[in-house]
Amino acid sequence: MDLTVVIIIIVAIIAIIIVGVIVKHKKAESRKQELAGWAFSKGLNFNAGRDGSIASYSFKCLQRGDNRYGYNIVEGNLGGRPVRAFDYHYETHHTDSKGNRRTTHHYFSAVIVDANLWLKPLFIRSERLFDKLTEFIGFDDIDFESAEFSKKFYVKSPDKKWAYDVLNQATMEFMLQSLQYDIEFFGRHVIAYRNKTFTVGYFEEAINLVNGILDRLPESLIQELKGK
C-alpha cells in the first residue's frame, strides 16, 4: 500500500478518536449542567465528583464488580425525606481464551430515599419472560389480589406479610400508574434504579415513586416500625 494512503488512514483514525472524545466530553459537561440546574431548582446540592461511599450501601445493585463509585450526586430533602440521586459506575473483567484481560465499564442511575424507619427487605421490579419460566418450575414470586399488579411486577421478600402490608391496594394502584423502576428496601433506605443512565427528569420521577410508596404505608405499620 502506498505510504501516503497509510498516512491518510492513520490521520483519519486519530481524527475520529479525537472527535469521539470531544463529543463524549461535551455530553458529560451538558449532563452536569442539567443536573446542577435541576438541583438548584429544587434547593438541593450537586457534586459532580466521584464518591466511593455510595458503594457502602448494602443494595445488591451497588455491590456488583469493582472500582465502584457514584458521581453527579444530587442530595438534600425532597418530598419531606433525605434523598440522594446519582450516576453510578462499576467494572467487570473477562479473560479470553488467549489470556487477554478485558475490562467492561457499566453505568446506571439511581435514587436513594431515607425512610427514617427501619424497613424489612423487599424487592420489586417489572415482570420478565424468565420469571414466567421459573414460576413454572416452582420458583415463583409473591402474588397479590390484583391480577394486573401480579402480572406486571415481580416481588420478592422473606416476609410475605410485610410485602402485603407495603403493597396494599392504594400502593398497587399508585404503582400501576407510575413509571417502572427496580426498587429495593434495605435498612432504613429505599433505592430505585434502572440498568441505564437516567435523563434528568427520571430522577425526580423515581424519587416521587419511592416517596409515594412510603407515604402510603399504613399508619399501624408505621407505628409498629417506630416501636422497633
Angle (deg, nearest 10), helices 169-176 and 200-215: 170
Q: Count CB atoms within 10 A of the CB of residue 94.
A: 9
C-alpha span between 121 and 207 (Å, rounded): 19
Q: What is the pTM of this model?
A: 0.84
pLDDT (tens place) for every residue of the chain, 228 residues total: 666 766 666 666 776 776 655 556 566 677 888 899 999 999 999 999 999 999 999 999 999 999 999 999 999 999 899 999 999 999 998 887 777 888 899 999 999 999 999 999 999 998 876 555 555 444 567 888 898 998 899 999 999 999 999 999 999 999 999 988 999 999 999 999 998 898 888 999 999 999 999 999 999 898 888 875
CA-based nearest residue to 43, from 87, 74, 72: 74
Contact between 186 and 119 (Cβ < 8 Å)? yes
C-alpha span between 127 and 144 (Å, rounded): 13
